[in-house]
Amino acid sequence: MYKARAYSAASATSPLASTTIMRRDPTEHDVQIEILYCGICHSDLHQARNEWSGFLPTVYPCVPGHEIVGRVTKVGSAVTKFKAGDRAAVGCMVDSDGTCPECQAGLEQFCPNVTFTYNLPDKHLGGVTYGGYSESIVVDQRFVLRVPANLNPAGAAPLLCAGITTYSPMHHWGVTKDKKVGVVGLGGLGHMAVKIAHALGAQVVVFTTSPNKKEDAFRLGADAVVISRNADEMQKHAGSFNFILDAVSADHDINAYLNLLRRDGNVVLVGAPEKPFPISAFSLIMGRRSLSGSVIGGIAETQEMLDFCGKHNITADVEVIPIQKVNEAYERLLKSDVKYRFSIDMASLRAQ
Ligand SMILES: NC(=O)c1ccc[n+]([C@@H]2O[C@H](COP(=O)([O-])OP(=O)(O)OC[C@H]3O[C@@H](n4cnc5c(N)ncnc54)[C@H](OP(=O)(O)O)[C@@H]3O)[C@@H](O)[C@H]2O)c1
Ligand SMILES: [Zn+2]
Ligand SMILES: [Zn+2]
């Protein structure tokens, strides 16, 4: 074991603060990574503040972070995929049993024994796993990804969660050229969804509560932008969508989006707000509509997404911050004031 600098939350109400954590020495299958950048996902905030207590209660201290890009510093003797000096990335998972039907299907995110990058039991050291708000991490090579060389590392980090979470459902539900696709919430996930749907050739409509994001939405690849608080603007799109991705982090009315679907259309929730929503039966039964959900994506699909982004030169639009500004960044995330992902420069942690 060795000590690594990190930032952690000590309770649901305490700000993140500097600390040291223990990491394991790499075993034969492990890759040790010096973390260069880690994106700030809204899930980090939900988890640090124990907002998902009914689903996955937070164990403190909590070190969030699952959008990791770094450089390999050491590999175990059985590691074949990476060598010291390579660029490498880690997303939301660091382990799974590898044997269940979900793992066999390449859907490790649904494995009953999946280990998320933070806040799930650590099979090696006991306690829970600690995420990417840290100077280094040690991960089994099966869960380490390659980042195409043409992608800027600070902007590539958010692909590891925001990228795959939006790519996977579009892939699964067949978003292609000529499909009319809605994206609700122009945050970290939403802006990646716009870029990816546009690259897939879809007709993309952004729904936002922030009128000041309208120009950005067009620049990111939207064909139309709707201010969702304006009922007349919403009504113009009634019954017209094949697919709507809902990436909102807070309480809002889902029925308003179900009503915009055409026959057999689908609203896919990727946002994970704290409170449950009421759903009107009529929003679903009229038009044989579906409401679905999706969580991140499998490891092979994550690599496929990274390669797709490499080919299309897609990265997140990031505001790079030092880790000392992480609490301020959380407050801004709550005000939808980020364009469009914070990416922590981990040199700031090494320098302190
Ligand atoms: N399913 C998964 O695998 C997965 C993976 C990662 C994250 N998530 C979840 O997805 C959600 C979004 O994450 P993120 O990192 O993209 O968050 P984010 O950057 O904070 O973006 C959320 C966006 O939602 C909109 N919004 C916020 N409050 C709203 C309200 N009260 N009513 C309507 N719209 C509102 C805002 O967009 P506008 O300003 O455009 O309105 C905001 O930018 C979070 O709940 C997160 O935990 C799920
Ligand atoms: Zn995330
Ligand atoms: Zn499994």
CB atoms within 10 A of CB 144: 25
Closest of 172, 214, 170, 221 to residue 194, by C-alpha: 221
This prediction has a pTM of: 0.98
Q: State residue 28's pLDDT score.
A: 98
∠ at Cα 176 (171, 281), nearest 5°?
70
Among the bound ligands, the one closest to the CA of 142: 3
What is residue 268's three-state secondary structure? Answer: strand
Q: State residue 239's pLDDT score.
A: 96
Query: Which residue's alpha carbon is nearest to atom 29 within ligand 1?
Result: 250
Does pLDDT of 178 surpass 90?
no
312/196 Cα distance (integer angstroms): 9
What does the block give as tokens for 70? Answer: 């770094």
8 A C-beta contact, residue 16 and residue 8: yes
Cα(235) to centroid(ligand 3), Å: 44
Query: Which residue's alpha carbon is nearest to atom 25 within ligand 1?
Result: 185
Which residues contact residue 288 at a Cβ distance below 8 angstroms, ignoring those fewer than 6 apart?
263, 264
What does the block give as tokens for 68? Answer: 């990791």
What integer is the mean pLDDT of 184-195?
Answer: 98
Q: State residue 169's pLDDT score.
A: 98
Does pLDDT of 254 surpass 90?
yes
Cα(249) to centroid(ligand 1), Å: 3
- Give per-residue pLDDT as tens, 210-236: 999 999 999 999 999 999 999 999 999
CA atoms within 13 A on the CB side of 110: 12
How does strand 341-345 pair with strand 30-40?
antiparallel
What does the block give as tokens for 287? Answer: 């038009």
124/127 Cα distance (integer angstroms): 9
Residues with CB under 6 A from ligand 1: 41-43, 46, 161, 165, 185-190, 208-210, 213, 247-252, 270-273, 294-296, 333, 336, 338
What DSSP element (H or E) covers 2? strand 2-8
Cα(262) to centroid(ligand 2), Å: 30
- What rounded mean pLDDT belongs to the chain? 97
Query: Which residue's alpha carbon is nearest to atom 47 within ligand 1?
Result: 43
Query: Which residue's alpha carbon is nearest to atom 2 within ligand 1?
Result: 295
Question: How would residue 342 be classed by pLDDT, with cut points 50, 70 and 90?
Answer: very high
- Give per-residue pLDDT as tens, 129-157: 999 999 999 999 999 999 999 999 999 99
